[in-house]
Chains A and B, each alone.
Chain A
């Protein structure tokens, strides 16, 4: 993917840029708002990672607003040291697609970026989702693996649906909490892990090959291998 990174703090920029390069992405970097806005509006990117507070007279929110005004729909992930709920709402209202508070784990950033790009590309109009022999019928609200029906509780169904929509991608615990439960807080205990192990018992344990993988230190991925 071709990604624009607009970030003025050198350490953070290097950390993000190297991580993205390691994952095979192409990265353009601007260290101030004016260059950022120029690059964003003159070249095509798959996604933009944007610091909220930037030098150069144009801050992150201003860049988002002027891009959206000109009809540019590139997915934007906002990075910010401002963690209050008000700031998040402001960033998303301005036209940002996701909001990540510093400090963050690179895995979290990458997972959210993948999810953003996927969401921007894919339509949500499918009525069935599938990975290998695991199939979900969204209309009938039924799940089956290898042709064998698997009864799921409503929350397990929602959890699996999110994983299927992001099949092959890493999803973090925070992403699951935000998207499946719509909770924006840290539930202290790793409740998500327990939910995932329950789900794994239903869709994976009696089948081969395993589809639900734990990615250490980051989260989970649904897919082959």
Chain B
């Protein structure tokens, strides 16, 4: 029972029923007060007024006055239901229209409702019994047989309507509970499917925009985001496993061969040197991955400040200039001096550096590389590095920034396969995007940052 009560649906259903019954009772009570009770109050007021009037007469004119008044009222028969009885201190009738003092009343003063026999019938009669001065006792009453019948009818009706209200409340409560349980069961089923690993499940959304639909929409949005993240992590760990396995296999092979063949010292040391080189490459991949994770975690947002892009770009271009010169590549840097963005200067430098590094590695030699930045019409800032090399085939462009992705043409060139991933991560951190376009011939890698502060 306690368990059942813990269910929100049951509690809501009970609450619903309770509120419904309570409001029904209030309504019925009000109706009762306005109808049956009103009739009673009416009768009481008339009886009280009669008794008051007779008492006054007794006080002003003595016993004869009171008797006269009673006889006048009985005789006039203005109200055939009116009943009077004036008795002496020994309860012997003095005046009035009933024969004797009703035994049921005895000597208890106040209001009484008794069955009085009149015209051979028992009639419900309401009396007020007051003691008057000089020991006289007065009974004033009204035959309320009709009103009692009406009251009974009303009470009967109210009872039935109360019962109906109770049934309706229970039915409504059950409906509320079922409706809620259905939505919650739907939610539970979907969530369980997700727990079992099916991340593509989505909650059912009806056409309405009620609370459950809003909740379902929110949860679906959350699931969407989780699915994207999980896919990202899954892809990344697959890539990590694959791309670390290769150099680790090489390293292991090299060391094992060394143990097996036991070459002379000179050869051994040269192989050990190579092994350290292998390890350094693996460490470089690790560092790049950790840096990617650091950027993606958003921890670097704290280092954001307003940057003069021209300075950052010029310094990076300066770093790569001798490399370009050696390759016979003409490297130009065209960044307007007023261009300012908000960001992490070190990360932006690294991103631009990676783009230049890629252009130098995969572009034409001799050739030319242009590093340019401009403010787009919508206020965003685009930093573009274009080369005149073979470019990237359209089919490979969407995957080029994936972790460890190496295009068909780039596999033979040394690199971690994380360069563009890092640029894309830096772009994401800054709220921007990385796009790869054809320069025909060559490639344009464009890093777009959101509109920064105006110059």
- Listed in ascending order, the chain A residues whose CB lies under 8 Å from chain B are 83-86, 103, 105, 155, 181, 183-189, 191, 194-195, 197-198, 217
* List of A residues within 8 angstroms of B379 by Cβ: none
Please name the residue on chain A nearest to B318 by beta carbon: A155
CA distance A188 to B416 in the complex (A): 8
B266-305 Cβ-contact flags toward A at 8 Å (1 or 0): 0000000100100010011001101100100001101100
* List of B residues within 8 angstroms of A188 by Cβ: 353-354, 357, 415-416, 419
Q: Which of B161-169, B320-328, B435-443 faces chain A?
A: B320-328
* List of B residues within 8 angstroms of A187 by Cβ: 319-320, 350, 353, 357
B291 & A191 in contact (Cβ 8 Å cutoff): no
B323 & A217 in contact (Cβ 8 Å cutoff): no
* List of B residues within 8 angstroms of A85 by Cβ: 294, 299-300, 303
**Cross-interface CB contact of A198 among B273, B315, B322, cutoff 8 Å:** B322
Q: Is B349 an interface residue (CB 8 A)?
A: yes
Q: Is B397 an interface residue (CB 8 A)?
A: no
Q: Smallest CB–CB gap between A90 and chain B, Å? A: 12
B294 & A189 in contact (Cβ 8 Å cutoff): no
* List of B residues within 8 angstroms of A195 by Cβ: 319, 322
Q: Is B446 an interface residue (CB 8 A)?
A: no
**Cross-interface CB contact of B287 among A83, A155, A217, cutoff 8 Å:** A83
Known: A83-B290, A86-B299, A194-B326. A185 touches B319 (CB 8 A): no
**Cross-interface CB contact of A186 among B288, B326, B360, cutoff 8 Å:** B288
CA distance A105 to B273 in the complex (A): 12
B304-339 Cβ-contact flags toward A at 8 Å (1 or 0): 000000000001001110110010000000000000
* List of A residues within 8 angstroms of B276 by Cβ: 217
CA distance A132 to B300 in the complex (A): 45
Total A-B pairs in contact (CB under 8 Å)? 59
Please name the residue on chain A nearest to B279 by beta carbon: A103
CA distance A105 to B284 in the complex (A): 12
Can you name 17 A-B pairs with beta carbons within 8 Å? A84-B299, A86-B299, A86-B302, A103-B283, A183-B319, A185-B349, A186-B287, A187-B353, A187-B357, A188-B354, A191-B323, A194-B322, A195-B319, A195-B322, A197-B322, A198-B322, A217-B276
CA distance A35 to B88 in the complex (A): 117
B318 & A217 in contact (Cβ 8 Å cutoff): no
Give residues of chain B (113-160) contacting chain A, Cβ–Cβ below 8 Å.
none
Q: Is B406 an interface residue (CB 8 A)?
A: no
Give the interface SS of chain B, mostly helix, strand, loop or mixed: helix
A191 & B288 in contact (Cβ 8 Å cutoff): no
Please name the residue on chain A nearest to B354 by beta carbon: A188
A191 & B320 in contact (Cβ 8 Å cutoff): yes
* List of A residues within 8 angstroms of B238 by Cβ: none
Q: Is B254 an interface residue (CB 8 A)?
A: no
CA distance A211 to B216 in the complex (A): 72
Q: Is B346 an interface residue (CB 8 A)?
A: yes
Known: A83-B287, A84-B294, A198-B322. A189 touches B303 (CB 8 A): no
Q: Smallest CB–CB gap between A183 and chain B, Å? A: 6
A191 & B354 in contact (Cβ 8 Å cutoff): no
CA distance A103 to B419 in the complex (A): 21
Q: Smallest CB–CB gap between A188 and chain B, Å? A: 5
Q: Smallest CB–CB gap between A186 and chain B, Å? A: 6
* List of A residues within 8 angstroms of B326 by Cβ: 194
A181 & B291 in contact (Cβ 8 Å cutoff): no
CA distance A84 to B293 in the complex (A): 10
Shortest Cβ-Cβ A-B pairs, 3 listed:
A185-B350, A194-B322, A188-B357
Please name the residue on chain B nearest to A182 by beta carbon: B346
Q: Smallest CB–CB gap between B415 and chain A, Å? A: 7
* List of B residues within 8 angstroms of A189 by Cβ: 320, 323, 357, 360-361
CA distance A194 to B276 in the complex (A): 23
CA distance A67 to B315 in the complex (A): 38
Please name the residue on chain A nearest to B300 by beta carbon: A85
B322 & A185 in contact (Cβ 8 Å cutoff): no
CA distance A90 to B214 in the complex (A): 44
Please name the residue on chain A nearest to B327 by beta carbon: A194
* List of A residues within 8 angstroms of B294 by Cβ: 84-85
* List of A residues within 8 angstroms of B290 by Cβ: 83-84
**Cross-interface CB contact of B319 among A186, A191, A197, cutoff 8 Å:** A191
Known: A83-B290, A189-B360. A181 touches B284 (CB 8 A): no
* List of B residues within 8 angstroms of A191 by Cβ: 319-320, 322-323
CA distance A72 to B326 in the complex (A): 49
* List of A residues within 8 angstroms of B291 by Cβ: 185
CA distance A184 to B303 in the complex (A): 13
Give residues of chain B (324-379) contacting chain A, Cβ–Cβ below 8 Å.
326, 346, 349-350, 353-354, 357, 360-361
CA distance A191 to B319 in the complex (A): 7
B391-424 Cβ-contact flags toward A at 8 Å (1 or 0): 0000000000000000000000001100100000
A186 & B299 in contact (Cβ 8 Å cutoff): no
* List of B residues within 8 angstroms of A103 by Cβ: 283
* List of B residues within 8 angstroms of A84 by Cβ: 290, 294, 299
CA distance A184 to B294 in the complex (A): 14
